[in-house]
Amino acid sequence: MTPLEALHKYFGYDRFRPLQEDIISSVLSGRDTLALMPTGGGKSVCFQVPTLVMANNNPEKRLCLVITPLIALMKDQVENLQTRGIHAAAVYTGMSWDKQRVALDNCLFGPYHFLYCSPERLESEEFRNRLTQLPICLIAVDEAHCISQWGYDFRPSYLNIAAVRELLPGVPVLALTATATPDTINDIQAKLGFEQPNVLRKSFHRDNLQYIVRRTDNKDEQVAHILSHVPGSAIVYVRNRRRAQELAEWLNNKPTPAPSQKGEVEIGSVDFYHAGLTTQERNERQEAWKNGQTRVIVATNAFGMGIDKADVRLVIHYDLPSCIESYYQEAGRAGRDGQTAYAVLLFNEREDKQKARKRIADNYPPKEFVINVYHKTCDFLQVGEGSGLGHRFTLHIDQLCHVMHLPVLQTYSALHLLTQAGYIDFEEEHETQPRVQIRVPRYQLGEYNLSLEQAEMLDQLMRKYSGIYTDLQYVREADDKTCHQILVSLAQRGIITYIPRSVGCSLTFTREREADIYLSPSIFEDRLARFTEKMTAMVEYASQNQFCREQVLLAYFGETDAIVCGHCDVCRTTFY
């Protein structure tokens, strides 16, 4: 089977997009490959097609290990592959070990071609041991910039990939990212252990996407004005959850423009999205926006990654992103269908520059403060010196900060820095799946005068979850509102222990508590300098009005020979 035959058979396309075929050829030749493609450029095909070709030609090596940080993206891609008749599985945080074992057994014994996992799964010795038994032919690393401390979204768990490569000798790596500076490109290849440099890139130039910076003293009114003049699906990015909800409500209450005003359109339905919503709420709002029931989604940067919606006409940034990489990626969600689309950045010079300075201070508080947060968090969780290794806690930041008299934003940042230093694994917005353990022996249940609903629920749980008497088990039944109420009633009577679904933070100690901790320059001073540099570049992009917006963006990513775009706000002012 050739790559083109696989593309047509499984995906229904007759030709590849630019660069896809070159990347696939590189992978099939067994070379480690770093592929840089803009958002919406078709990255998934670049590992899916070569895997299917290799599986067809050699069934003994038929499985691609796909490492991605996004659970929603895993589920979406697994579902899409399965609808095409391609077997795929995913292993992620929140799954019981029994379900993980079933998924891994399917990959070992069944006709499976794709196994998706998060980088955190690679920390498990049992999971790594299982990987050595699987018929893996390719490792695909999505969002590969996360492995680099030069990247804008560094995640220490990505560093485990190099160790996994040692367990799978001879298996090539395909690293994929939409945004990477020259320094990040070099670092990705080094951290992934490339035998030799091999970078394939597509220009970040987008013909159809028009970059605009709009200076304004009233961002709310400016958002409404733009939405009423640009028809079609839209995303408005904001920095925090409260702003997302408030702006969505304000836009929904905004009066509809009079029909006599030419060129205006209705703002339409607006909703908000952020990581504090439950999984069900996020899925429902995302689906409503994708299928056009909701026209505008006001969201934090928790929204958008991995969403395949081609007809987004407008992306507005209400606040300055922290770096050009994230701005380019988020703006690039507009116009994937090749039709004209707009990326608009709202800018209030005095206020936004002031907020940028504060963001730097909030993200990198003094080293002494970070060390203080470490010890106060240990005290709050009652973890003594020499203990805590491997222990996982649900952490309520507001409560920690109230009890220990700590500022909230800087405490979040300190916990992330401690994660990068290797002392803890702090996970923001970790969703705890509902769990149940039955506390009353089966033969005693007749003494409790159970209702029919309670008896049926207990019988269902006992049949489906074999270990439910000895340990807490993840249960899907709690997702149903009626079942949730029955479980609550059983817990109130002491028949079960029930931990409902919740969204919060989790903290795992990756070392025993130490009396003195050390934050190396690479963790603190160097990253502070890089963050400041990236934030400064973002401010300069918004502030300047002399050079073509797209030229500035492309030069940041190393494309120094780009021509003027002709349609950004600077080009329009200069040339028209």
Asked if residue 219 lies in contact with residue 274, where contact means CB atoms within 8 angstroms, the answer is no
Beta strand residue intervals within 5-121, DSSP E: 33-36, 63-67, 88-91, 114-117
> How distant, in Å, are the alpha carbons of 208, 241, 330, 445 from that of 300?
25, 7, 11, 48
Q: In this predicted structure, what is the pLDDT of residue 521? A: 81
How far apart are alpha carbons 392 and 407 in whole angstroms?
23
Asked if residue 113 lies in contact with residue 82, where contact means CB atoms within 8 angstroms, the answer is no
Collect all residues with Cβ–Cβ distance below 8 Å to 141 and sequence separation of at least 6. 67, 147, 158, 161, 173, 174, 175, 176, 192
Q: In this predicted structure, what is the pLDDT of residue 576? A: 45
Collect all residues with Cβ–Cβ distance below 8 Å to 1 and sequence separation of at least 6. 9, 52, 53, 56, 57
Q: In this predicted structure, what is the pLDDT of residue 59? A: 85
Residue 36, helix vs strand vs coil:
strand
**The two three-digit tokens of residue 281, written as one number:** 């709420």
Residue with tokens 């081609």: 310
For 243-292, the pLDDT digits (tens) are 999 999 999 998 766 655 567 888 999 999 998 787 778 889 999 999 99
How far apart are alpha carbons 184 and 146 in whole angstroms?
9
The parts of the chain modelled with pLDDT lower than 70 are: 40, 93-94, 96, 151-153, 256-262, 305-306, 429-433, 479, 502-504, 574-576
Phi and psi at residue 471, in whole multiples of 5°?
A: -155, 160
As beta bridge partners, residue 211 has 343
Collect all residues with Cβ–Cβ distance below 8 Å to 412 and sequence separation of at least 6. 397, 428
> Residue 128: which H helix or E strand, with range?
helix 125-131
Tell me the whole-structure pTM to 2 decimals.
0.77
